[in-house]
Structure formats: structure tokens, C-alpha cells
Structure 1
């Protein structure tokens, strides 16, 4: 099949090229026109508007404004990119003979936090902040302009992955790896949380299924089969470094007190950061596995993390 991937130069796009390039004819749509091995041609947004792109069977829309954890990005930028570009690409899809459209949304479009619950597709979306709000606005536009249950000639998928990682990944996992590599003990061992991750291997497996299998249109959450605690994550990092995990189980009251003081003195640990480090965020992948007819994804959470962490070795 002919597959068009927007934002193809990004982390996910690059990995999809490696996974799909040998099976399909892959094309790109990006602001950067640099060629990529395995990609037949990369088009510009002007090519999209001028309808200079040949027939595509599948459009995978990755391009977007990533979540700025430091909250330095202007709110409108999220809506201009995450919502605006999605409208642009989806309108193009509807006007062409392409039969499948995959929009990469985010679990943050559904909920900023889930507490002790498991996040499923049945949740009433309640995003917090411009990133999640811009993603749910894009989802709303898709749902308002396409009947997920009626149109048999086209399939539309809204994919909500939790944190994606793999070789070449940058972000919080890399930062945590750097902290542990320096031998700094993890002081929050008393907090037992559970978090879901998405390994790039599992994501590519699911994407191949959405492109080729008989999967109904709809919203699908994406994550590995197992959720891990931060303590388990620290242990996996130490396993990749071939060293013993240094996890301190300091009293929760003490850490909460230090976080309160940290907020006043503007120290690295404050209440908001403590909550983010210790809260649970478990995502169900039951719906997507059921749609693909599998009971287990090919890569376990631990295996996927080790592949990612081992790729960090040698970095400064």
C-alpha cells in the first residue's frame, strides 16, 4: 500500500519507516524535505494544499506540537498545530480515495490524571492544559465530520498512546536514566505507584494492524501489557547499567514535608513535582488487542524498556 506519514522526521515517524518500509511504499509530509532511507518521497504542506500528492491508501497523522513539560509554550501554538494541522490533513483525507486515517492523539486528551483507576476508552474526556485540550479538540473535529459506525468505505482511527519510548527517544525517561547513572539514590521508594508505557516495538506492531487488518473505526488507547512502578523502573535502569538499585524508602510524611519546603524555596522537589513522580497512570490496551485479535503484545514492558535504556549507553 501507499502510506503517507506526516511528521515523518520525528521519533515515531522514523521508527514507522523502519517497520513499514519493507512492506509498503512509504511517503512523508513534513516541514523538512530532507530525504530518508526507505521513504519514496517527502512532500511539503504546500504540496498538500495544491493537491500535488499522488494516490495514498493510508494517511498516518503524526505531526504535532509535543507536550512541553516546562510549560513555556504559548497555549495558542498547541491549537494552531495539534488542532489546526489535524483539520487540514483530515479534510484532505476525506476528499481523496484514501481508505484509512490514523490520528495520533494522546491519553492526555482523555485525562491528565487517573488516580487508582485504569484509563479506558469509555472515560468522559477531561484534559487539563493546552496540550490535552488541543488534542481533544482535534478528536472532536474528526468525530463531527466522520461517522465512525456508518462509513464502510473509509476507516478512521484515533490512537491515544501513553508515553512512547525506544532507541532515539528523548525526554523524561532519558533524564531519569541520567540521574540513576550518576549513582544518585532514588528517595521515593515508599511511594508505590503504577504507570503504563508504550514501547516503540509494540506501537509499530499495532500500527501495522491498523493499516492491514479488519479493525473497526474508533478510539483506541495504546500501552504495553504491564504497568510498572517507579521503583521497578529504577530497577530496570540499574539492570541495564549492571549495578545494584539504590532505592531509599524514606517516610512519606518526610518527603511531603520536604516538598512543601521545596515549593517555598524553589528547590528541585516541590509538591507538584512529587505528585508527578509518584502518581499512578495505568492505561488499558484491551480494546486494541481485542480489535487485532491478539491476547498479548509482542514486547513486554520490561523488554521494551531495556531496549530503550541500552540505547542510551554511550550518550553524554
Structure 2
């Protein structure tokens, strides 16, 4: 199978390219920034990974998200519609559906993004799904949750450093749970989608089979670094009071940061597993996280 990939130089792009190549697929990297490009009409699929990632420091212009995540996607999709290529796989995000989650997030939720990043992704999704799809073509929208793996220097790396330095986790009284997706499970799912023509067009979330609490994550990191997990259970009432003080005096721990550190974000992967006719993804949540943490040590 011949597959065009945009964003092939990014973390996911590099890993997916290597995985698909190992599986005997041919990958064609494509840059779409200039807009002056042509699609290889002999390709079987396009995987659109290129995009403007969420800026947690909120320093990016809002218009940049829409220009890259929405408008460039529209241009690429229009070229796909005019081509002989059969499949278009667009990498969106669970943040296109919801910034906060009550219970378990499913594909049936009414999207309500709160950031320019999430809104730009949902607008791209809406455009793809609103276009008339010629017979024989598929459009599959992937909403992954937080992706991790070797070479990814995201939030997991920061938490790894906290544990490695022996700093106690003082928020252990909060029993939150979050979903992750390992790069290994992501690669497996995308390859399976490409090679299973029975999977229908639509929106599919990507997450590991189980959500992990922050306390579990601290324990996994400690296990990987051969340290004893330092989980300190300070009463929530005291923590909340400290956060209130942080609001008033602009301290590192404030109400907003406390919510981000302790909120739950659980994502269902039932729909994609049913579509692929599998009971579970190949790598467990704990195994994947352990592999990622160990890669930080080797780096």
C-alpha cells in the first residue's frame, strides 16, 4: 500500500512512517505549507498529521490555529476528493470534542471545544464530514488523547523529572484518572484501519484500554527509576485553601493549575475496537507508560 503522510517529521509522523515501512507499506512524505503541491494519484491513502499543536503557554495567535488546522486541511481534502486516492485519515484531537470530561468521553458527545486549538480542529472535522464523498472513498477522523512514546518530551517527561528528583507528590488525596495512548497502540490502530476496508467513514477516538490515575502514574515512574513512590495525602481542604491563596498572590499553585493537575479525562476506545473487531489493543496502558518512562532514562 502507498500512503501519503503530512507532518511526517513530527513525533507521530516519524514513528508511524517507521512502523508502516516495517509492515511493507510505502510512505510518501508531503509538505503542504506552501499550498503549491500535487498529490500522487497512485497513492492508496492520505494520513493528515500536519497541524498547529496546542500551545499550553497561550502565546500563539488564534488565527494561526485556524489557518493551519482548518484551512490547510480543507485545501488538502479538496485535492483528495478530486484524486483517485481512496482513504483520507485526519488526525484531530479529543480536545476538539471537550476540554473537560464528566464520566467517560465517547464519540457521541456534542462537541464543545473551549480553545482555538480545539475549535480549529472541530471546524476541520465539520468540513470533512459535510462534503459529499464519492463512491469508493473513506474519510476517517482520529481523535487521539495524550500520545506518548520514546522521543516524546511532553508532560510525562516533566512528571518523570519530579519523581527522579525525589520530590513528593503532595496531591495524592485526589483520585483522578486520565487516558493516554501509546505510540505503539496508535501505530497498530492506524495500520489496521488502512488495511481493513470494512471500517466505515466516521469519527474514532484513540486511547489505551484503561485510564491511569496520577497516583498510579507516579508509582509506574518510581518503578521504572527504582525509587519508592512518594505519595503525600494532604487533606483536600488544605490544598484548596493553598490554591485560594495562590489566586490572590499569584503563586505557582492556584485554582486553575490545581484543577489541571487533578481533573479526570477518561476516553473510550470501544468504537474503534468494535470497528477493528478486536477485544484489546496490543500494549496495556501500564506497559506503554513503563516503556516511555524507561526511554527517558536512556535519553
* Residues 259-278 of structure 1 aligned to structure 2 (within 5 Å): 259-278=243-262
Q: Which residue of 2 aligns with 1:156?
A: 139
* 1:179 shift after superposition: 1.2
Alignment correspondent of 1:28: 29
* SS state at 2:199 partner: coil
Gaps of 5+ in 2: none
**1:37 alignment counterpart:** none
- The alpha carbon displacement at 1:51 in A equals 2.4
User: Counterparts of 1:167-182 in structure 2 under 5 Å?
Assistant: 167-182=150-165
Q: Which residue of 2 aligns with 1:5?
A: 5
Aligned to 1:239: 223
RMSD: 1.3
Aligned to 2:64: 77
**Would you say 1:124 and 2:110 are equivalent positions?**
yes
Distance 1:183 1:96, change over 3 A: same
CA distance in 2, matches of 1:54, 1:93: 9
- Counterparts of 2:135 and 2:272 in 1: how far apart (Å)? 19
Contact 1:106–1:132, Cα closer than 8 Å, also in 2:
yes
For 1:27-48, what per-residue CA distance to the aligned partner results, in whole angstroms no more than 9, with x for missing partners? 1013xxxxxxxxxxxxx655x6
Structure 1 residue 49, shift from structure 2 partner: 3.3
Q: Which residue of 1 aligns with 2:291?
A: 307
SS of structure 1 residue aligned to 2:212 = coil
Alpha-carbon shift at residue 194 of structure 1 (Å): 0.9
Greater mean alpha carbon deviation, residues 261-270 or residues 78-87:
261-270
Check the 8 A contact 2:172/2:232 in 1, yes or no. Answer: yes
1:295 deviation in Å? 0.6
- Using the TM superposition, give the Cα deviation of residue 189 of structure 1 relative to its aligned residue in structure 2, in angstroms: 0.5
- TM normalised by structure 1 equals 0.91
* In 2: Cα distance, 1:308 partner to 1:59 partner: 28
**Does the C-alpha gap of structure 1 residues 45 and 274 become closer, same or farther in structure 2, counting only changes over 3 Å?**
closer
Give, in angstroms, the shift of residue 17 of structure 1: 1.0
Structure 2 counterpart SS, 1:156: strand
Structure 2-normalised TM-score?
0.96
Distance in structure 1 (CA, Å) of the matches to 2:222 and 2:8: 33
Give the conservation status (yes or no) of the 8 Å contact 2:142–2:205. yes
Aligned to 1:105: 92
1:141 aligns with 2:142: no
Q: Which runs of 5+ in 1 are unaligned?
A: 31-43
The number of residue pairs the alignment matches comes to: 297
Cα distance, 1:56 vs structure 2: 1.2
Deviations, residues 249-289 of structure 1 (Å, cap 9, x unaligned): 00001111111111222222111010011111100000000
Give 3-state SS (helix, strand or coil) of 2:140's partner: strand
Q: How far apart, in 2, do the equivalents of 1:265 and 1:166 lie? A: 37
SS in 2 for 1:67: coil
Q: Distance in 1 between matches of 2:244 and 2:256?
A: 9
